[in-house]
């Protein structure tokens, strides 16, 4: 025998199962007490016809399941002073502030790089090796290695300087900075400027 509901059909034995669960776990007032007319024998009880629930929809369960699986938004990235966040240099990485470029006509800073810090490690500074290479050697040149705690142009300070017209590689130990860059100061002649650094 079938009972028809607004959402779906439920077999009579299924309705009985739901009702039994209600009797076991429902309020005491909802539990049935057998009548004498329902007793067939000393140990047998015939349960009366039970009303079926109004609706057995599973759409609510599906909706709740989808809500529980919904993704939450992640944390927002911090804002930077420059338009494009600088690249990070990890130990062994090489960053090019200038990469075979024309010598600037006036003082100009090259690309800057972020130096990551490691939580739980003592801040003993970083050894920075930086190098200048020229396609055509200038007759005079000045390039500066700079560092800063924040990526703001006015905060960069001089760490080291080179005036070698043939180009050279220099090492500075114990550098404590969050950002590094190489700045072109001045030159006479020359072409193909490359300035890079290694941490």
Q: How many residues does the chain have?
A: 199
Beta bridge partners, 91, equal: none
pLDDT of 68 strictly over 60: no
Under a CB-based contact definition with an 8 Å cutoff, are residues 128 and 180 in contact? yes
E strands in the chain:
2-4, 9-11, 39-41, 44-45, 87-88, 94-101, 108-114, 126-136, 140-148, 157-162, 169-175, 179-188, 191-198
Looking up residue 108, the CATH number of its domain turns out to be 2.60.120.680
* 140 and 49 assigned to the same domain: no
Structural domain boundaries enclosing 164: 87-198
* 131 and 61 assigned to the same domain: no
* 63 and 29 assigned to the same domain: yes
pLDDT band at residue 116, thresholds of 50, 70 and 90?
confident
User: 183 in a domain, yes or no?
Assistant: yes
pLDDT band at residue 109, thresholds of 50, 70 and 90?
very high
Structural domain ending residue among the three candidates 15, 35, 68: 68
pLDDT of 198 strictly over 50: yes
* 119 and 166 assigned to the same domain: yes
* 108 and 51 assigned to the same domain: no
Identify the pLDDT of residue 78: 45
- Give the mean pLDDT of 54-71: 52
User: 77 in a domain, yes or no?
Assistant: no
User: 95 in a domain, yes or no?
Assistant: yes
User: 125 in a domain, yes or no?
Assistant: yes
Q: What is the largest CA-CA distance in the chain?
A: 119
* 193 and 109 assigned to the same domain: yes
User: 121 in a domain, yes or no?
Assistant: yes
User: 119 in a domain, yes or no?
Assistant: yes
* 52 and 140 assigned to the same domain: no
Structural domain ending residue among the three candidates 68, 103, 122: 68
* 57 and 113 assigned to the same domain: no
Under a CB-based contact definition with an 8 Å cutoff, are residues 48 and 32 in contact? yes
pLDDT of 44 strictly over 70: no
User: 94 in a domain, yes or no?
Assistant: yes
Lowest average pLDDT, out of 71-85, 124-138, 182-196, goes to 71-85
Structural domain ending residue among the three candidates 38, 68, 98: 68
User: 76 in a domain, yes or no?
Assistant: no
What is the count of structural domains for the chain?
Answer: 2
């Amino acid at each position: 025998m079938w009972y028809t509901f607004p959402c779906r059909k439920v077999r009579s034995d299924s309705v009985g199962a739901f009702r039994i669960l209600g009797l076991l776990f429902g309020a005491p007032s909802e539990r049935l007490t057998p009548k004498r007319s329902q007793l067939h024998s000393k140990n047998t009880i015939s349960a009366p016809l039970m009303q079926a629930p109004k609706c057995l929809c599973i759409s609510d369960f599906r909706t709740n399941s989808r809500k529980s699986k919904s993704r939450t938004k992640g944390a927002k990235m911090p804002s930077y002073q420059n338009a494009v966040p600088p690249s990070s240099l990890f130990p062994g990485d090489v960053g090019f502030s200038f990469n075979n470029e024309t010598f600037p006509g006036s003082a100009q800073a090259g690309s800057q790089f972020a130096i990551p810090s490691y939580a739980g490690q003592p801040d003993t500074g970083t050894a920075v090796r930086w190098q200048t290479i020229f396609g055509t050697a200038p007759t005079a040149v000045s390039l500066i290695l700079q560092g800063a705690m924040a990526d703001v142009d006015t905060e960069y300070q001089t760490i080291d300087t080179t005036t070698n017209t043939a180009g050279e590689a220099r090492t500075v130990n114990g550098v404590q900075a969050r950002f590094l860059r190489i700045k072109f100061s001045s030159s006479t002649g020359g072409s193909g400027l490359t300035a890079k650094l290694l941490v």
